[in-house]
Amino acid sequence: MNMNRLTIVVTGATDGIGRSTARALARHGADVVVHGRSAAKVEAVVAELRDLTGRAPPAPLIADLASLEDIRAAGRAFVSRGRPLDVLVNNAGVFMTQRQLSPDGHELSFAVNHLAPFLLTHLLMEALVAAPRGRVVHVSSMAHARGRIDFDDLDFVRGFSGLRAYATTKLMNVLFSNELARRLRASARSAQVTSNALHPGVVTTKLLREGFGMNGHDSLDEGAATSVHLAVSPDVDGVTGAYFARNSPTRPASVVNDVDALRLYERSAILTSVAPL
């Protein structure tokens, strides 16, 4: 794959693994579109990438991924540039220790970790299809193995647990990735766009410390490595619907299944007012 000026959107690029991912992709020669919620943090990363590459990166995207309205505005802003999107890295995520609601009334883990990438991916699909070989990369976690989806309680109203909400939304990432891959393959128009999920490793981040009360054994750069591999490596040209860890395809947990993937996709399309692919 020609790394000459690929355009890559990285969500949650102002901290942790997302920031390391943005830096690594910029070093590969990509034009990285930095996403973040805080304008000040976004500008700091944009300046960092400018210093790293010697050129200004594309205009960033500033949006609160808890807000469907903000996501729609960010999607429209990117598409209005008329620029093909080579890669979307859905990296942003939260771990909530207490149940809180988004502006749209959804539990925040569900809103940010699942509904946000679901909606943003669909909003940017036109730009992904316009690229020669678009890629969607979903940052999940090995925690998905502990997830269990209650389709009657997607907002975790009953017996909220931060760990259960996080694990379940990381499971949703894998299910969405798989169902998206299936739908993209089914259409000649979008068949060249791939969708894969990954486990980044156990990395010492704010999320790991606050959510799990522990430090990891992987560095931030190691945590970014599989996202970067799926974004730019020629080794994964045409690979879709797979789950990766440490740059290699691996089997996801047995809780991942096509029935739940389809059901989750259909429910999510309704909740985000998205026309299904």
Mean pLDDT of the chain: 94
Q: What percent of the chain has pLDDT over 90?
A: 90
Lowest-confidence region among 58-62, 87-91, 188-192, 216-220:
216-220
Question: Which amino acid, one-letter code, is at 269?
Answer: A
Residue 212 has pLDDT above 70, yes or no: no
Lowest-confidence region among 12-16, 151-155, 204-208, 264-268:
204-208
Q: How confident is the model over 19-48, as a mean pLDDT?
A: 97
Q: Assess if residue 51 is contained within a domain.
A: yes
Q: Assess if residue 2 is contained within a domain.
A: no
Name the pTM for this structure.
Answer: 0.94
Residue 216 has pLDDT above 80, yes or no: no
Catalytic residue among 95, 110, 166, 265: 166
Q: What is the pLDDT of residue 186?
A: 97
Residue 49 has pLDDT above 70, yes or no: yes
Q: What is the pLDDT of residue 202?
A: 78
At 266, the pLDDT band (50, 70, 90 cuts) reads: very high
Residue identified by tokens 């992904």 is 128
Q: What is the pLDDT of residue 213?
A: 59
Q: Assess if residue 135 is contained within a domain.
A: yes
Structural domain including 29 reads 7-272
Q: Assess if residue 229 is contained within a domain.
A: yes
Q: What is the pLDDT of residue 214?
A: 53
Q: Assess if residue 214 is contained within a domain.
A: yes
pLDDT digits 0-9 by tens, 73-104: 999 999 999 999 999 999 999 999 999 999 99
Q: Assess if residue 108 is contained within a domain.
A: yes
Q: How confident is the model over 5-19, as a mean pLDDT?
A: 96
Q: What is the pLDDT of residue 217?
A: 62
Q: What CATH number does residue 185 fall under?
A: 3.40.50.720
Q: What is the pLDDT of residue 219?
A: 81
Q: Assess if residue 1 is contained within a domain.
A: no
Q: Between 154 and 214, whose confidence is greater?
A: 154
- Catalytic residue check, 166: yes
At 255, the pLDDT band (50, 70, 90 cuts) reads: very high
The total domain count for the chain is 1
pLDDT digits 0-9 by tens, 109-164: 999 999 999 999 999 999 999 999 999 999 999 999 999 999 999 999 999 999 99
Q: Assess if residue 277 is contained within a domain.
A: no
pLDDT digits 0-9 by tens, 162-187: 999 999 999 999 999 999 999 999 99
Q: How confident is the model over 19-31, as a mean pLDDT?
A: 97
